[in-house]
């Protein structure tokens, strides 16, 4: 389990409010502003939790970059030092059972699933994009209220410690 601080949570909420109100985030699910802010803040909290994990194991990353609003969608959440692999953090609530990646989203190399419960985060695992698209349950994807998604059950995700072990490969 990785913790985020109350200050970090507040940073995530402020980021979400600024991003949504600036109109710089695509409203994929046609949701009201409050819901967009809530979902965006949750996602950002997952990114901060992953940042905290990197910090715990001695991997340096820039916290300010996580909270910087750009003029375009993020092309990745984290970049491995070799510059080759882009990582996207997908944050879920404690009652969710799937890693979901919208099919209309630009592909990243690796997806890390983080489950948030209050200020506590659990690294559920990761999956390479190529494995994710090969193993997607199309029937499940068609039933998702979020729209068509690549998906994976949490029990088949790889342990995040393996990703960290090879961070500098």
The domain segmentation of the chain, as residue ranges, is 2-93+101-165
- pLDDT one-digit tens code per residue, 149-158: 899 999 999 9
Which one is predicted more confidently, 169 or 158?
Answer: 158
| Mean pLDDT across 32-55 | 94
* pLDDT confidence of residue 74: 65
CB atoms within 10 A of CB 166: 9
Pick from 146, 69, 58, 57: which is nearest to 101 by CA? 146
- pTM for this entry: 0.91
Average pLDDT over residues 120-137: 93
The pLDDT confidence band at residue 83, using thresholds 50, 70 and 90, is confident
Is 115:93 a contact under the CB 8 Å cutoff? yes
63-77 pLDDT per residue, tens: 998 998 876 566 789
């Amino acid at each position: 389990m990785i913790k985020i601080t109350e200050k970090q949570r507040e940073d995530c909420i402020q980021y979400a409010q600024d991003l949504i109100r600036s109109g710089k985030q695509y409203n994929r699910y046609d949701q009201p502003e409050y819901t967009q802010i809530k979902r965006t803040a949750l996602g950002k909290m997952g990114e901060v939790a992953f940042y905290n994990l990197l910090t715990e194991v001695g991997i340096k990353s820039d916290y300010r970059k996580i909270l910087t609003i750009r003029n375009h969608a993020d092309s990745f959440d984290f970049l491995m030092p070799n510059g080759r692999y882009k990582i996207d953090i997908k944050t879920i609530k404690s009652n969710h059972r799937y890693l979901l990646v919208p099919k209309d989203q630009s592909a990243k190399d690796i997806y890390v699933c983080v489950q948030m419960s209050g200020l506590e985060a659990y690294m559920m695992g990761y999956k390479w994009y190529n494995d994710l698209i090969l193993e997607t349950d199309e029937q499940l994807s068609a039933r998702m209220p979020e729209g068509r998604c690549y998906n994976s059950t949490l029990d088949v995700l790889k342990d995040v410690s393996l990703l960290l072990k090879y961070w500098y490969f």
